[in-house]
Structure 1
Amino acid sequence: MTMTTGSTVDMTSTAVQQDTVQDQVTVEDQVTVVVSGPEVHFSAPLLGLEHLTRFVLEQVEEDSPLFSLRSVEDAGVSLLLLAPEAVFEDYAPSMDAVSRAAVGLPAGDQGLLLTVVNAAGAESLEQATVNLLAPILINPNSGTAAQIVLTGSAYPLRQPLSA
């Protein structure tokens, strides 16, 4: 499968699936991660959405690296998320012990890492940007999540999706 973002990006190394009951999300890229249950609970609220902690994670389309994170508490709030390895092959931020503890991930567990897509003002998805500086880390066993700000990182807050 390829995705056109100004240039063609090969996504065959990353398969993303969601079962028909929409209670498990599996992202495969050398490792399979399953999020149990459709609801994701943030241990600390998302930046700018401090009043919301409960969300539903749904894959946008089958075999797509895009997900919708919809608030359970406010139906008008939804974020578009991206499995970053599908577009940014070299994106591999290191999660410290504090970040892993925020979602209850034991040492050695991968977790599910997603990035927020900002399409505001963009005429197409190719013109959107991705927040690589503050990814969302999800514990696949508990559904606990946290937005992790990568302090001291060179990753950008607004990385063009088409890059």
Structure 2
Amino acid sequence: MILQTKFHGEIELPEEEIYRFDSGIPGFLEEKQFCLLTLDDTPFFVLQSIETKQVAFIMTNPFDVFRDYEVKLTDEVLSSLQIETEQEVVTFVILTIQDPFNETTANLQAPIIINSTKKTGKQLIMSGSEYGTKHRLIEPLVEQGEK
């Protein structure tokens, strides 16, 4: 299929590369189908809506940046995404890109969970967790005093 995307222009997308988000994404509940695109030579990905060109989320693998990050999948999530093995699970967090880039934040409270085998996905809201919606992706540099 031919797809119009926010960041990649027009692309050809095989049908088997479409991920189903049966519950949509909070704030975008009507968006049920997405594709996952790489963002050039970066550690970032784009979760692009199949239906709406302007609905595209920049994401990254949180475990590459936040070493102590933990996500506990509930039985409901495992069931709804048809997850049978740990190897099927891919986790991303949505970024809020800022200018300058070092102000960019990651939403650790609501990761995107994908079953890479069944091509299903869901945004998991981890209510009551220690994580928030605006964790700085790049820690601010510590100013050093004069020696």
**TMscore range, shorter length:** 0.7 to 0.9
Structure 2 unaligned segments of length 5 or more: list them: 1-11, 140-147
Higher helix residue share: 2
Paired residue secondary structure (1:101): helix
Structure 1 unaligned segments of length 5 or more: list them: 1-20, 24-35
Q: Aligned equivalents of 2:67 and 2:53: distance in 1?
A: 33
Counterpart in 1 of 2:6? none
Counterpart in 2 of 1:80? 58
Poorly superposed stretches of 4+, deviation over 6 Å: none
1:133-160 deviations in whole A, cap 9, x for unaligned?
A: 0001000101100000112211111111
Question: Normalising by the residue count of structure 1, what TM-score does the alignment of the two structures yield?
Answer: 0.71
Q: Aligned equivalents of 1:158 and 1:37: distance in 2?
A: 33
Change (3 A) 1:78 1:94: same
Q: Which has the larger radius of gyration?
A: 2
Q: Determine if the alignment matches structure 1 residue 124 to structure 2 residue 100.
A: yes
Q: Number of residues paired by the alignment?
A: 128
1:30-69 deviations in whole A, cap 9, x for unaligned?
A: xxxxxx942111021101111111111011124x321011
Paired residue secondary structure (2:78): helix
Counterpart in 2 of 1:4? none
Higher strand residue share: 1
Counterpart in 2 of 1:38? 17
How far apart are residue 22 of structure 1 and its match?
A: 7.7
Question: Normalising by the residue count of structure 2, what TM-score does the alignment of the two structures yield?
Answer: 0.78
Q: Aligned equivalents of 2:53 and 2:91: distance in 1?
A: 24
User: Counterparts in 2 of 1:7-156, with a 5 A limit?
Assistant: 37-62=16-41, 64-106=42-84, 108-119=86-97, 122-156=98-132
Given residue 158 of structure 1, which amino acid in structure 2 is its aligned partner? K
1:106-163 deviations in whole A, cap 9, x for unaligned?
A: 25455000000012xx213321111000001000101100000112211111111113
